[in-house]
Amino acid sequence: MTAFLIAARRSPVMPRGGAFASLTPHELAAPVIRAALADAGVAPDEVDELILSNALGAGGNPARVAALAAGLPERVAGLSIDRQCAGGLDAIVLGAALVQAGLARVVVAGGAESYSRRPLRYATAPGEPPRAYDQPPFTPWPDRDPEMTAAAAALADRLGISRIRQEAWAIRSHALAQASQPEILPLLGQGRDAFTRNLTPRLAARAPVLVGSITAATTAVAADAAGFVVITGADRAAQAPRALLIAASATLGARPEEPGLAPVAAIRAVLAQLNRHPDQMDRVEMMEAYAVQALACLDATGLPEDRVNLKGGALARGHPIGASGAILAARLFHDLDVGMGLAAIAAAGGIGTALVLQA
């Protein structure tokens, strides 16, 4: 069986502590879910499952909470996943698998993240006081588990990707992001991504240095947002106003020391599945957690830079971790008119996910 995206919506992306600071993940998710279903012409009681990615919440099952808040039937149990930054795309991959296997007719999938409302985390050990921590372990080996910005700086050094080149990519991202963004559902009076601005070379050059060649201008800011898609089979897709085939997907692990390069293997895998060359992708949505991460993946895969993030990327809007992959898919759904489009994202621990849609 085949699976199709028949609708996709997202909220604006607000920096941590901004306009969405009071909203919980399910409060971000519910209106976006309802809007996506309305776009698709799907009634809530037709939904069989909701898959929600969340990386920073308090655990439990936020997908169930979001399903109830969105008015889905009580029989929708909700499935929460955490694959860090890759989770939003992986939720869509899992939803497609349910449809392809004949286990569901309609699945809503995506992610919701409130960086502003994330709980404080403490590690405990016998005989020791609780210790606050920010980044959980992503490998069993501390020496192979770098802090994300340090990993980005090391990658830039190894590959010779200069600060100037990173700044140029960030400037491009902001400039392109000032175009229309039709996939956005206005929320709390906000209709655009708040962080997008006129980033000039002078402003980029003056940005604070974080580590090595990595600066505040070439790093995506922590953010709050939600993004969801509606997935169904061919019979239901034939009735939808718009439908894109989920043509291929892959999630693969790579070297944990270089998480920024992890999407390369996944991108190569989906291209191999389709027997396509990189230049046969008509649109590309590449995650920009760091400018160097996007540039390194483009250099390694040969994807055409002039088709990448044509309305800007995460450097210009922010990075709501669990939702970022779903936002890539939502943008691709709205912007791909013909041919094939690819979305790809890296995650901590050396994980990469890639998804190809076909118009």
User: Quick one: which of 224, 191, 230 has its CA closest to 26?
Assistant: 224
- CB count within 10 Å of CB 191 equals 12
Question: Which residue numbers are catalytic?
Answer: 85, 319
